Amino acid sequence: MDAREFGGALAWRHRAREALGSSRRRLLELLRPLPSEVLTAQHSELMSPPVWDVAHVANYEERWLLRALGQPGVTGAETDRLYDAFRNPRRERGSLPLLGVAEAFAYAEEVRGRVLRHLDALDADGVARTGALLDGGFVYGMVAQHEQQHVETLVATLQLVTSAALDPLPGAAPRPGRTGLPREVRVPGGPFEMGSDEPWAYDNERPRHGVEVPGFSIDRLPVSNRDFLAFIEDGGYRRRELWLDAGWAFREAAQLEHPLFWRRDGKRWERRRFGVREPLPLDEPVCHVCWYEADAYARWAGRRLPTEAEWEKAAAGTPEGRVRRHPWGDTPPDVTRANLWPTGGHPAPVGSFPAGASAWGVEQLLGDVWEWTASDFLPYPGFRPFPYPEYSAVFFGPEYKVLRGGSWAVAPDASRNTFRNWDYPIRRQIFAGFRCARDA
Ligand SMILES: [Fe+2]
C-alpha cells in the first residue's frame, strides 16, 4: 500500500481491492469443486446455468470497471448481449451459445487482471476526470457487491439441484438457540433517519431521509419452523380467510401445503437441503416461504408483516435517535453476531445471536434468512437512479415486495441495516423467511 491510500481521492483503494478479492474468493470456492455438468446445466427455469453467472459477473465487471472507466474492453457487443440479464430471461439462458466452463473462468480472470492493474495505476487526476462513478470508490463497491449477490444466487441454484448432494458448506456446526424469551419487542413511535448516504450504498438506499414511524411491536426473533408448523397443523393452508385473493389463487394453482423443500413422511416432517433429506430442524427460522405464505401466517397469528420502515427502525434505530450500520453498532459482522456466508451453511436456530441484538433488543435481523416486509419496492423521496436505471428504478412498483436483513448465504460486505432486496411475492427458492409485527 502506498502513502496516497491513507487519504485524498484514493482513500478507498485498499477497501476496493479487499472487496473484489473476497467476492472472487467466494465465487471460486463455491464453484471450482463442482463438476462441469452441474455448472452448465439449467437446473430450474428460475435460475441460470451457473456458467452463465460466471461470465455475466465478468461481463458486468468489464463494463463498469474497464469500459466505463475509459479502459479498452476484453469482449464486445455479442458477449454483452449474451450476458445481459435484461435481454435474456433466466429460463432461456441454458439454450444460449454460452462460453464453456474453462472459457468463462478465463474470461473472469482476464477482466480481473486488467481491472486490478488499472486500479493500481489510478491517480487523483484520473479519479477527478471520471467523476461520480469513483466517488468514494462507488463503482468498485457496486461490482464487488454484485459478485457477492451472484454467489448467493448460485447457492440458491445449488439448493434446487436434486441429482446430487452439493452442500456448499459441509460440516458447519450448529449454534445453540435460546428459548423462553419474551416474544415481542416494543419500539416507541417517533422520527427515524431511514436509508443511507454511505459511499457504497446502492441508489435505492439513498438518500437518508427522515420518516415518522408510529410505535409498534415486533417479534424478537424470526418465525421458526416450529411456529410455522403450528400454522400448518391448524389448517393454515386450507383456510381461505387467512389469504389475500392473489395469494389464495397462487396457493391453489401451485398447490402449496408447506414451505418449499419440506415433505411429510408419515408423522415426521423432513426437509431437503442441498440434495439431502433430514429431519426438519424445528428451531431454525422458517425459510423458502413466499410473501403470500408469510402474510397468511401473520394473519393467522393475529398480526401482520412489519413495514420496511419498521424493520429498519427496529434494526438501526436507538433510543437516543442515532442510527447504526448494523443492529449491534457500527463494527463489522463477526461470527458471534450474525450468521452470514460462510459461517453456518444454513439458518442458525432462533436465539443464537444475543450479541447481535439491536438497541431495542431485536435479534437475528442480519443473516440467517431474508425477511419479507409488508412494503412494495418504491423509491425514497429524492431518489436518483445511479449509475443506471436498470439497477433499481425499473423495478419500482407494487409487483415487488421488499426483503430485508440478508440470509446465511449473504457475504458480510453486502450486509447492512439499510440494504434493500426485492422479489415477486410468489418467490420461494430464495432464502427468505419473516417475522411479525403489530401496532402498539
Ligand atoms: Fe447480475
pLDDT tens-place values along the chain, 440 residues long: 444 444 577 899 999 999 999 999 999 999 999 999 999 999 999 999 999 999 999 999 999 999 999 999 999 999 999 999 999 999 999 999 999 999 999 999 999 999 999 999 999 998 988 889 999 999 999 999 999 999 999 999 999 998 888 888 876 666 788 888 999 999 999 999 999 999 999 999 999 999 999 999 999 999 999 999 999 999 999 999 999 999 999 999 999 999 999 999 998 999 999 999 999 999 999 999 999 999 999 999 999 999 999 999 999 999 999 999 999 999 999 999 999 988 778 899 999 999 999 999 999 999 999 999 999 999 999 999 999 888 899 999 999 999 999 999 999 988 999 999 999 999 999 999 999 999 99
Ligand 1 mean position, distance from CA 269 (Å): 35
Sequence letter at residue 73: G
Ligand 1 mean position, distance from CA 225 (Å): 31
Ligand 1 mean position, distance from CA 59 (Å): 9
Ligand 1 mean position, distance from CA 178 (Å): 37
Rounded Cα–Cα distance for residues 311 and 32 (Å): 37
Give every CB contact of residue 77 below 8 A, 6+ residues apart in sequence: none
Alpha-carbon separation of residue 378 from 14, 216, 312, 396, 421 (angstroms)? 33, 22, 15, 5, 11
Ligand 1 mean position, distance from CA 361 (Å): 35
Ligand 1 mean position, distance from CA 27 (Å): 13
Ligand 1 mean position, distance from CA 390 (Å): 11
Residue 407 phi/psi, 5-degree rounding, is -100, 180
Ligand 1 mean position, distance from CA 326 (Å): 25
pTM, full prediction? 0.95
Ligand 1 mean position, distance from CA 3 (Å): 35
CB-side exposure of 164: number of CA atoms within 13 Å? 13
CB-side exposure of 93: number of CA atoms within 13 Å? 30
Ligand 1 mean position, distance from CA 84 (Å): 8
Dihedral of CA 104/109/110/115: which sign?
positive
Ligand 1 mean position, distance from CA 203 (Å): 16
Ligand 1 mean position, distance from CA 154 (Å): 11
Cell numbers for 138: 462507488
